[in-house]
């Protein structure tokens, strides 16, 4: 029987067979990886704060958002889609909204070169229409390629669905 020597990583404490093969590319706790993580986090935090501040100041002619919480990956003035589109939010519930109107799918008007602020406003209007106050985080848009029951003014209009989270 051969002698098996085990040692422990100084950075993470993991038991390793060969400390030389457990360097920064393997050990998540190595100083090199820790410095890289701190740098990446600082860049992310700066961008998060910039985008978040833009949303906190943003409002359009109808005021601040009432229901929706936009993602912090885009600012409200950035173009969400170049061209014509409309956005659909499918209703999964039956019943009436707070005004006694029947619940149903939300279909926006045709938007041309909408910004993320425009998309957030449409999402804010969609939430009470479909009665989904749980999924209020707007994460993005997903293009719908299947047939939907919507009359489009022409073939240049793309149809999107809100991508949401809770």
Residues of the chain with pLDDT under 70: 1-34, 37, 72, 147-149, 166
The residues, any chain, with a CB within 8 Å of residue 156's CB and separated by 6 or more, are 83, 84
Question: Would residue 62 count as lying in a domain?
Answer: no
Same domain, 83 and 144: yes
Question: Would residue 159 count as lying in a domain?
Answer: yes
Record the pTM: 0.69
Q: What pLDDT is recorded for position 19? A: 47
Domain span at residue 77 reads: 69-165
Question: Would residue 128 count as lying in a domain?
Answer: yes
Could you tell me the sign of the dihedral formed by the alpha carbons of 150, 155, 157, 161, in that order?
Answer: positive
**Class of residue 155 by CB neighbours under 10 A (exposed 0-12, middle 13-18, buried 19+):** exposed
Question: Would residue 135 count as lying in a domain?
Answer: yes
Same domain, 73 and 142: yes
Same domain, 13 and 39: yes
Same domain, 42 and 82: no
Same domain, 51 and 117: no
Same domain, 106 and 157: yes
Q: What pLDDT is recorded for position 72? A: 61
In contact, 83 and 159? CB cutoff 8 Å: no
Same domain, 140 and 87: yes
Question: Would residue 43 count as lying in a domain?
Answer: yes
Question: Would residue 91 count as lying in a domain?
Answer: yes
Q: What pLDDT is recorded for position 115? A: 92
Same domain, 74 and 44: no
Torsions phi, psi of 49, nearest 5?
-65, -40
Q: Where are the alpha helices (DSSP H) in 18-163?
A: 31-57, 116-130
Q: Which pair of structure tokens corresponds to residue 144? A: 């719908």
Same domain, 73 and 149: yes
Could you tell me the sign of the dihedral formed by the alpha carbons of 146, 151, 152, 154, in that order?
Answer: positive
Q: What pLDDT is recorded for position 13? A: 64
The total of structural domains in the chain comes to 2
Q: What pLDDT is recorded for position 118? A: 93
pLDDT digits (tens, 9 = 90+) for 45-78: 787 788 888 888 888 787 888 888 887 678 899 9
């Amino acid at each position: 029987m051969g002698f098996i020597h085990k040692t422990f990583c100084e950075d993470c404490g993991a038991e390793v067979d060969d400390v030389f093969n457990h360097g920064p590319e393997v050990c998540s706790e190595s100083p090199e990886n820790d410095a890289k993580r701190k740098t990446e986090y600082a860049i992310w935090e700066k961008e998060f704060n910039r985008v978040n501040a833009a949303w906190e100041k943003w409002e359009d002619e109808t005021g601040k958002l009432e229901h929706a919480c936009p993602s912090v990956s885009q600012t409200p003035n950035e173009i969400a889609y170049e061209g014509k589109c409309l956005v659909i939010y499918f209703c999964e519930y039956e019943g009436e909204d707070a005004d006694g109107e029947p619940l149903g799918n939300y279909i926006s008007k045709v938007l041309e070169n909408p910004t993320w602020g425009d998309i957030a406003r449409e999402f804010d209007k969609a939430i009470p229409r479909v009665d989904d106050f749980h999924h209020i985080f707007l994460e993005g848009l997903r293009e719908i390629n299947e047939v939907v029951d919507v009359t489009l003014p022409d073939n240049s209009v793309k149809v999107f669905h809100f991508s949401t989270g809770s």
